[in-house]
Chain A
Amino acid sequence: MILAAKKITLSYESTIIVPELSLLIESGEIVTFIGPNGSGKSTILKALARYLKTRSGVVYLNGQDIQSMSTKRVAQQLAILPQTPHAPADLTVVELVSRGRTPHLNWWQRSGTNDYEVVRWALEQTKTSHLADRLVGTLSGGERQRAWIAMALAQSPQVLLLDEPTTYLDICHQLEVMELISRLNRELGLTVVMVLHDINQAARYSHRLIALKNGAIIRQGAPQEILTEELLTEVFKVKALVKTDSSSGCPVCLPYGIVE
């Protein structure tokens, strides 16, 4: 396993959001957290990325306590894309992607040939080479998300954490981003842990779903196994039909009412 949480308790100030949660992420998996607002999905992701310190419990990255590692060492193995990252108005895509090399450089070093190679590779992987000299602020939502993913790839991570990567995108760009993530996982063996709101997309593109409610794992497993009408009622308080999409074999859900 590449990433693990052992009995982590997470809180903002004194409010406990996630009590004693444990989970394992295997190398090469796509794992998606689903759950209602306030269920602790993003909070857990922040803790897995060592941005949020655990109140108790330990997060392990490749078997090492993530808080005991230098933040730079972590950044060489794990990349995170927050929900709303900032970019200065005059930042070009290639400059943004180059920022991904930060954890591989010491403060006195300048980017070398190898770094430019990695940046070029990351641009190609995300099909953003033609956008390299565009300003990040002028890109469409989908292009921008691909540019940020390119930056994360330039970190050469083993694990990529994504917080709602498709929010604010139209349906075509959503699929484009999901297809990209899925391809990176297939071709590069990149482990992906993400938070998604769209349950059907989560089911379609993940190896494993983790359903959360009030900071606790209600169920986890392959989408075909756990995505049931009962689960949706329990976790999201909705009535929904769950069918199997015959072309992909993935479950699809169709919510039609609220549980009183």
Chain B
Amino acid sequence: MSNNSVTTIVGPKRRRQWITLVVLAVLAILAITASISIGPVSIPFFQVWELLAKPPVQSDISSQIVWNIRLPRTLVGCLVGAGLAISGALLQGVMRNPLADPHIIGVSSGAGFAAVTAMIVIPNFPPSLVPMAAFTGAMASGILVYALAWRAGVSPMRMILSGVAVSALMNAGTSAVLNIYSENVQSVMSWLAGGLAGRGWHHWHQLWPYILIAGSIALLTGRQVNVLLLGDEMATGLGVRVERVRMMLIMLACILTAAAVSVSGLIGFVGLIVPHIIRLIAGSDYRFLLPASALGGATLLVLADIAARMVLDPIELPVGILTACLGAPFFLYLLRRRTTH
């Protein structure tokens, strides 16, 4: 072997990963542009960036639409998609289980239960505080699951099982509240289905600190997750403090999910499928998988939101339906192509 043969062997895979990242970044920018361009008032593709290049102009209706309605909505969509996808990727790695996602550890259902209870049961609950209630419910539920799974350490399997149990309980609570207070469920139903309708700058301000901080930390944990994938015993042998790292990663996943669903409502599928799509395209090295999932999640959610606005215009569909409709066929296509090789 020549001197640098190891680096050349790693090379092709590395190249594929970088290309994937660049392509995803370009796709994300295109999706963002499209999302700002498309709507009842159509704004030409290239004019979008012209309008964004200068501060909002009071007299220009296009500028107002772009700056005050479509840009914040799109950016919130990016953060929600990225947050859910990173969270899903982390959980799949930590649990060493391909079916793990933000819903399975009970975080989303905790958010749902808390939000529904706040909106319906508490009279005159200010709508602006719903995200706060959802976030609190999500974190409480995540911590509860972790505590229930604890027995001189948390095993991934126990964590998943207690997550499923707590989820079931929370969902039962949500159903109970919806049935008891069945007269004013309309607004709640649309929250539960998830969506970006009417999301604006104040949602962005609530969201970005969590996603940006927790997300950035998460992106630095790639090597740790890579080692955890070799099993607890091996990871310990390689000098990783398994229990502590696992707790940190689960906390990050909880924060990301809680922040995302508190603003957007329950959007399924992104956290589960996006990491798998990325894996099928360019492998499961977490140093790459985490940033790629973030870009992929943001892109998928923004595209789904465009479709949600367009398909039955002027009625908006819940974006969760569209993430599944767009993501699932693509995922199945990749899966089939992979297995026929």
Contacts and interface: CB of A to CB of B under 8 A. Distances in A.
Interface in B224-238: 224, 226-227, 229-234, 236-238
B203 interface: no
**Interface of A, helix, strand, loop or mixed by DSSP:** mixed
Contact of B237 (A51, A89, A98, A116): A51
A62 to B, nearest CB: 16
Interface in B7-42: 7, 9-10, 13
B6 A132 contact: yes
Contacts of B284: 88-91
Interface stretch (A76-84, A229-237, A248-256): A76-84
B238 A99 contact: yes
Given A85-B230, A120-B5, A102 B239 contact: yes
Interface in A129-148: 129, 132-133
Given A50-B236, A86-B96, A107-B223, A71 B241 contact: yes
Contacts, number: 96
B315 interface: no
Chain A interface size, as a band, is 35 or more
A227 B103 CA distance: 57
Contacts of B283: 90
B227 A129 contact: no
A16 to B, nearest CB: 16
B7 A116 contact: yes
B285 interface: yes
A212 interface: no
Contacts of A120: 1, 5-6
B1 A92 contact: no
Contacts of A75: 237-239
B238 to A, nearest CB: 4
Contacts of B13: 92, 95
B279 interface: yes
Contacts of B96: 86
Q: Which of A88, A92, A95, A119 has the most CB of B within 10 A?
A: A88
Contacts of A215: none
Nearest to A155: B238
A74 interface: yes
Interface string B269-297: 00000000001000111000000000000
A100 interface: yes
A6 to B, nearest CB: 21
B128 interface: no
Contacts of A90: 279, 283-284
Interface of A: 46, 49-51, 70-76, 78-82, 84-92, 94-95, 98-100, 102-103, 105, 107-108, 116, 119-120, 123-124, 129, 132-133, 152, 155
